[in-house]
Amino acid sequence: MTYGDGVCDVNINELIKFHEAHGKICTITAVQPKGRFGSMTLDGDRILSFREKSKADVPFINGGFMVMRPEIFDYIGGNFMLEQEPFDKLIADGELMAYKYDGFWQCMDTVRDKRKLEALWQSKSAPWKLWQD
């Protein structure tokens, strides 16, 4: 399953293999997008240093690519937000796993994101596409 608002070059077969190996109900692809902003270290109002943006500064997030066993339907009912009640119940039952992925991942939530992805596509350097000439 995917939310459809992100682009990724995750190997789906490897994701499924990881999911089948642990035997839990749900696996989420966990990604660490590069931070959009650098940071500053302050001492009161005085700036001590600048630090460029880094993946290490960003926690893992839900990359939006998931594998689920049919038992997921036991956790879903009525009007729900997947990231809330169903995932919370899966966590409580020890049935939610993370597939840590360090490859290409980009959300497409804004016009800026869309333009970035389109530029990659136009330049034929889109990591999610296998080019054939």
Q: Please write the tens of the pLDDT for every residue from 40-62.
A: 788 888 888 887 776 666 788 99
Q: Please write the tens of the pLDDT for every residue from 104-131.
A: 999 999 999 999 999 999 888 888 876 5
Assigned CATH topology for domain 6-122: Spore Coat Polysaccharide Biosynthesis Protein SpsA; Chain A (3.90.550)
In the chain, the percentage of residues whose pLDDT exceeds 90 is 56
> Per-domain residue ranges for the chain?
6-122
Q: Does the pLDDT at position 21 exceed 70?
A: yes
Output the furthest CA–CA distance in the chain (Å, rounded).
58
Place of tokens 């970035």: 116
Alpha carbons 106 and 71: distance in angstroms, whole number: 29
Amino acid identity, residue 101? Y
